[in-house]
Chain A
Amino acid sequence: MSEKVTFKELVEQIARRSKQSQSSTNNFIHELVKIIEKGLKDSGSVTISGFGKFELRWMNPRKSLHPKTGEQVSVPGQNKVVFKPFKNLRDEVNHPFAGLTSRVLKEAAEKFGDEAAPEATTFVSDTASKKSEDSDSLGGLLIEHENPRFQKTASEPEADSLQPAASERADELARTPDEEDQTEAETDQQEDGSSVAAPAPLLPASEEKALADEVQKAGSFRWSYAAAAILAILVFIILFFMYQQYQEASDTPEQAMPDLQGQPEQTESLPPSADAEQESAEENAASQTEPSPPGSGETQTEFETENFSVEPGQSLWTIAETQLGNPYLWPVLYHLNEDRMGNPNFLPVDSDIILPSISDPDHLNEFEREQVAHGYFKLYEWNVQNNPDEARFFLWAVGVFSSSLLDQPPSGVIQEDLEFARNR
């Protein structure tokens, strides 16, 4: 099959096609080669449309054994020239086998999966012999039929019918060496002596195959683990995003709450969710930590307070927003009204609460900050009792408003939460 064509013959062929003299064609090919070389040198790849792509591939330096002496030698890094044929060239070259497709080997998968090694080995040896038989018969067909389509239809059933026969023959060969000559003679007659090689590589090939298959099995195992891990990560990410969205969304119901709770039977109003608190408190932290204006420099010891009557639909959050000017100051309301509330999430309608007067909600003075921090601390204490998972966020908010309170923590602070609040 691999008959050599000299360069002269190639030039003749091309010259006939292009109707040019052989010497000019010769020159032309040398020029083409020169340009391919230049292209590889300059850009590392040369594409010839309708043919293929030449590429330089850098091979990293590696250690190798000298084939004769067995010494270790280091091979320097170097370029390799590779050629990738394009589809039309591949198809042209592959025309004798065109239309043949890969088949699934179902029994093999089952056997390898379930049964012990020795049986698998015998199976492989069967297929090994069958394989060579098949390809031999194919080779015969190729010569007989030039038309690839016809070939395909002819070869498929042939190959199938060969399967049992082939395995039988392999068994015979294995068990009765006496008959070997006879069988070989038969196959010689049938297939022009081309199948003599079939029994020879039987054993080593089967061992190798069995090994390779074990390796593959192990590989598929790891794949399933990897898939499970990826799935778990995905689920985690999705949950995380949902949690975040929930946090963002929880701001909106806050605004809409007065409408929702306008009905008289609702005697309680909900304060903002704790999570929304954290997020927005964080945003506010920057402005809150700015030093208070010198105008309010006198040390304050008490709020000027007034009473405020709670109406349906109001929460500490909305009251802080409308009356104090900053909803994030709502803990100070809780701080002042703790004795009559208990649960910071429930605010009885028609009750009076104490409302402090805060001069500038964006620039709190020292005393006000401390009071807000105390409010957050009270919330922390309440949440430790009732909502331990989120309590630490309130402690963190304490630190945002008054870091000194965190430096001398009152009793009842969980150490882990304290570390969380300090490190945030």
Chain B
Amino acid sequence: MNYKSLITLLSELSGKSERAAREDVAHTISAITELLASGKKITIPGLGTFSTKEVEERQMYSPHHDEYIIAAPKRSVEFSPSTQLKEKLKDVRPADE
């Protein structure tokens, strides 16, 4: 499902205009992004938990360049789906788009 059809469905479900739905999604995204950027952990019921994880710098081997590198430390987004969502989607075999 792409972003456009998501917005269309959302506006149908809520009775809002597509534009309003788009704005609402944008606000939600920016709020979540900002919270994640400040290192917070956000749980959305029915969907899952967004959190951040810090990876220390580490020594690794790059097979492409055939050299040993010290990979830069980073902080990345982690998502763990809620149990409800996992249970619901466990046995679904979606037809590929």
Contact = CB atoms under 8 A, between A and B. Distances in A.
Interface of A: 1-7, 10, 13-14, 17-18, 20, 25, 27-52, 56, 58, 78-83, 85, 88-90, 92-97, 100-106, 108-109, 112, 124, 127, 131-132, 134-135, 138, 209, 212-213, 216, 219-220, 223
A79 B39 CA distance: 28
Q: How large is the interface on B (under 10, 10 to 19, 20 to 34, 35 or more residues)?
A: 35 or more
B45 to A, nearest CB: 6
B61 A38 contact: no
Interface string B4-19: 0110011001100000
Interface string B54-97: 10111101010111111111111101010001101111111111
A52 B67 contact: no
Interface string B32-47: 1111110111111111
A10 B31 contact: yes
A47 B94 contact: no
Contacts of A127: 59
Given A5-B35, A28-B28, A35-B10, 14 more contacts: A2-B39, A4-B43, A10-B32, A13-B34, A29-B44, A39-B5, A45-B1, A80-B81, A103-B69, A105-B68, A105-B69, A106-B67, A138-B73, A213-B61
Contacts of A49: 3
Contact of B73 (A39, A56, A89, A135): A135
Contacts of B61: 212-213, 216
Given A13-B31, A93-B75, A5 B41 contact: yes
A1 B39 contact: yes
Contacts of B92: 40-41, 44, 56, 79
Given A1-B54, A93-B75, A33 B3 contact: no
Contacts of A83: 48, 50, 77, 79, 81
